[in-house]
Amino acid sequence: MRILVDCGVGVGPYPRYGNLRGELPVAMGLAGIDAGSFDIVFLTHAHPDHAGWTFDEELQRPRFGNARYLLHRRDWEHFGGRETVPPYFRRFIQPLQEAGVLELIDGETEFAPGITAMETPGHTPGHMSLLVQSRGQGLVIAGDVLNSPMFVTEPERPFGSDADIARGVATRVALVDRIEAEGWRVAAEHFPAPGWGDVVRVEGRRWFRAL
């Protein structure tokens, strides 16, 4: 089974991010990965920098043609239920539902053997992190719960981009505690390359150590 965790910013250019253009198709091409080979696209949350390549607007069809797209029900309700639905939600999420490939989930869900969606709300109401477990080892892909390695050291620090700041702090503190206690590795999309590592203690404080 092949799973894509979040899609990045999309075609662009995005004035909001310094006219950034997404490079996912280029990166997949270099790695020899075909868009049709994914079974699941797991969306940690519905923000545009995580859901940008979901739908091919030129061809008017889901970009990952053989995949089901998983999103938390609370993000669907939160963004789609607004009086003014955000443009990115109309572009990147609602067409998936119209195409019949969007699957709304809630609760902690092991949707494939060893692959578990964890509810980590705060950044958005339905934010999820993905826990990957194999042979006694674990990796958490934390999405925007950990927007920077700094939050591994100071998880109690408020993150201004969280929709619910207090909830975001509580989620982050609990997640970092659990990652350390379980000895899991951690990855997050906004971390500098290579974007994954582990949590180590140096003189009593926790730090992210890139691998």
Closer residue to Zn ion, CB minimum distance, 75 or 144: 144
For the purposes of burial, counting CB atoms within 10 Å of the CB of 178, is it exposed (0-12), middle (13-18) or buried (19 or more)?
A: middle
Closer residue to Zn ion, CB minimum distance, 46 or 102: 46
d(Cα 20, Cα 193) in Å, to the nearest integer? 17
Q: Site residues (CB under 5 A) for Zn ion?
A: 47, 144
Q: In the chain, which ranges are continuous DSSP H helix?
A: 24-31, 48-51, 73-80, 87-92, 94-98, 150-153, 165-182
Closer residue to Zn ion, CB minimum distance, 128 or 179: 128
In the complex, least distance from residue 205 CB atom to Zn ion, rounded to whole angstroms: 26
Closer residue to Zn ion, CB minimum distance, 35 or 146: 146
Residues in the chain: 211
In the complex, least distance from residue 6 CB atom to Zn ion, rounded to whole angstroms: 10
Closer residue to Zn ion, CB minimum distance, 88 or 207: 88
Closer residue to Zn ion, CB minimum distance, 47 or 185: 47
In the complex, least distance from residue 67 CB atom to Zn ion, rounded to whole angstroms: 21
Residue 141: CB partners within 8 Å, gap ≥ 6? 5, 44, 129, 130, 132, 187, 188, 189
Write b or e for each residue in 68-93: b if 16 or more Cβ atoms lie within 10 A of its Cβ, otherwise e: bbbbbebbbebbeeeeeeeebbebbb
In the complex, least distance from residue 111 CB atom to Zn ion, rounded to whole angstroms: 21
Evaluate whether 117 touches 106 at the Cβ level (below 8 Å).
no
In the complex, least distance from residue 38 CB atom to Zn ion, rounded to whole angstroms: 21
Tell me which amino acid residue 187 is: A
In the complex, least distance from residue 30 CB atom to Zn ion, rounded to whole angstroms: 26
Whose CB is nearest to Zn ion? 47
